Structure 1
């Protein structure tokens, strides 16, 4: 018998910068001219049909006018396009256009595009660099930090993917002006989640300043508040990802609201936007955390009031049975040994810790059902 050990120890610096500002396309061009991504010959702009119409062709023209060889590849707008089939189609298009290892991808759009384009970049020619140019609050809050990429399946969201860090992220606050109220509010869900999870002072800031960014169905988008929100989202998520890049322990808390939320998103056939589903998942979690003796009732009320102030519907979708939701939760990535696990709030700004390296705990079906019934009675009436 022969035994061969292959030692492949390697230290790689995967650090990158996040730029928050307005009209950042010219900074992106300057970065490329100064070889932010060295030795590239071709640039592929990956976007969706909606963003292409607003920004895509302008991006293409600016890059080409600065002597970059590039093409734009567009997919239909919406989470329903984030599939393995879409990724295969994009790969075939890149190959047919002569893209190879000397290529770079720019993910122009929201979280769906950065998830898909990042996964594409991570596997194309065994890995090519990519940049994120965020055009939504949801992307700025959720997808711009951490390197999580992936696609959805009929069984669950983001079930197939990888960690692949971008070279740089650009958060262009001007693009928020073109969002619908519903799209902007979807991003607020992740923002409120971050405050609930790790920063009580930021939660208080949102309570005091929500009416400066939107009132009912009117976007106000106060400049200083928007910039503060973008920065705080990045700071909170960065602190967590820096300590746990690949979700071995601490990073589990970023799934706050997602265990039920992702299941609801899938069950709605993506009629619920990601943030809308996460909000309902967050509400499920606060009722569960309170029921288990962790989250004080006054904190539960504050979370509900902030969600209502932001204009969210916090009612459980009546068309989705509790049993169906719980069955779908078993496809969650945190499930271990066939048991559903939740991350749970201890108070606003702090998560429960269960043992030295675990921020989630097993929750039984009966405990989930009890919390769902209480939530329905108190909110749906």
Structure 2
């Protein structure tokens, strides 16, 4: 005769945290630690990449040590291609070799690849240690450093392996945006435009009217302080309002994948020649044009999306070196695929997302219809 015992583990978890937006926030980070933000932490591991290391990683390391904290710096080669299980394992081995344990904190300093990888490491090391995100790029400020989604890429798919692990605090350093290459800054604007497309038509109009105050018609950053501050704050608000309602992406949070079904596939198939935001920009165009076919938005609204992306210096066409077949095949590795069918999330006009009859925000699309659109986009 079998016996059973029910394990009851119901609990209420408060994963709330603060996001601080400003310039040169190292002093604020140090003050937070001195005032007991992480009272049970005795060692700090700064995780950064090879580009950010001399600019922000080493200066923070020196400041932490001068302030009496025990800290070390761990760096990996910059770029999305380093965001792998192998890199994570190397970092874990380095932490273990320096006697890091469950009383440590991970400080992720950098852009989206750094916060994704370091957040995943923090979520699994010691079965979970606290993480602070110090975002130095617009992309990280707009998306990767907020919301608790972490992960790595594999040859098969991007971001399919990871955990939800909320940071204890996020610092968004607007001064760091001045150190970004123009192409990296433009890449970050794609996630900002995505947020406007999915949640805030007023913000979309603001970007249409003010894009020239942060980037020139030749694609060079201008970075008007007021516009940058408004963008950073609005990005955080929009993402927070979604994550608050659906922390673990059971339904609503899927809308943050707007443009990512095709975008992530493009990024991977390009061998990461396309930056994340560049790929997402093309993905936004694909969903908008497909949305017009399905009646979810007008051709004029889709044209506005394409026009804003173009003004931001972002690509809106599929590169010639990527075939439609290769792009289609890679879309089948998207996290939203169910029962072997590709699913998209769609704008409902501008500033809203389409919710379907079953309550879901994603819907299956027919491969033939997507392939037909891809042919049309190439002018075939």
- Same fold per superposition (TM over 0.5): yes
Instruction: Say yes or no: does 1:188 pair with 2:186.
Output: no
1:35-114 matches, cutoff 5 A: 35-114=36-115
Corresponding residue of 2:273: 271
CA distance in 1, matches of 2:131, 2:116: 11
CA distance in 2, matches of 1:119, 1:219: 31
1:167-246 matches, cutoff 5 A: 167-215=168-216, 216-246=218-248
Do the aligned partners of 2:116 and 2:145 also contact (CA within 8 Å) in 1? no
Corresponding residue of 2:161: 160
CA distance in 1, matches of 2:136, 2:80: 15
3-state SS in 2 of match to 1:347 = coil
CA distance in 2, matches of 1:51, 1:170: 15
Corresponding residue of 2:324: 322
Corresponding residue of 1:143: 144
CA distance in 1, matches of 2:277, 2:190: 5
Corresponding residue of 1:128: 129
Give the drift of 1:374: 2.0
Corresponding residue of 1:256: 258
Q: Deviations over 1:73-101 (max 9, x none)?
A: 00000001000000000000000001001
Corresponding residue of 2:8: 7
3-state SS in 1 of match to 2:378 = helix
List structure 1 segments (4+ residues) > 4 angstroms apart after TM superposition. Answer: none
Do the aligned partners of 2:186 and 2:219 also contact (CA within 8 Å) in 1? no
CA distance in 2, matches of 1:80, 1:268: 11
Instruction: Say yes or no: does 1:290 pair with 2:310.
Output: no
Give the drift of 1:356: 4.7
Structure 1 residues not aligned, in runs of 5+? none
CA distance in 2, matches of 1:190, 1:94: 32
Give the drift of 1:355: 2.5
Query: How many residues were matched structurally?
Result: 378
Give the drift of 1:39: 1.1
CA distance in 1, matches of 2:142, 2:55: 21
Q: Deviations over 1:95-148 (max 9, x none)?
A: 000100110010000010110000000100111001000000000001122100
Give the drift of 1:375: 1.9
Give the drift of 1:189: 0.3
Do the aligned partners of 1:119 and 1:164 also contact (CA within 8 Å) in 2? yes
Give the drift of 1:217: 2.9
2:313 is matched with which residue: 311, 314, 333?
A: 311
3-state SS in 2 of match to 1:52 = helix
Q: Deviations over 1:305-352 (max 9, x none)?
A: 111111112121111111111111110000000000000111010111
Do the aligned partners of 1:259 and 1:329 also contact (CA within 8 Å) in 2? yes
1:334 is matched with which residue: 336, 339, 342?
A: 336
CA distance in 1, matches of 2:200, 2:43: 42
CA distance in 1, matches of 2:160, 2:134: 24
CA distance in 2, matches of 1:13, 1:294: 37
Instruction: Say yes or no: does 1:371 pair with 2:338.
Output: no
Give the drift of 1:175: 0.2
Give the drift of 1:42: 0.4
Do the aligned partners of 1:287 and 1:374 also contact (CA within 8 Å) in 2? no
Structure 2 residues not aligned, in runs of 5+? none
Q: Deviations over 1:258-283 (max 9, x none)?
A: 00000010001111000000001111
- Please tell me the root mean square deviation across aligned C-alpha atoms, in Å: 0.9
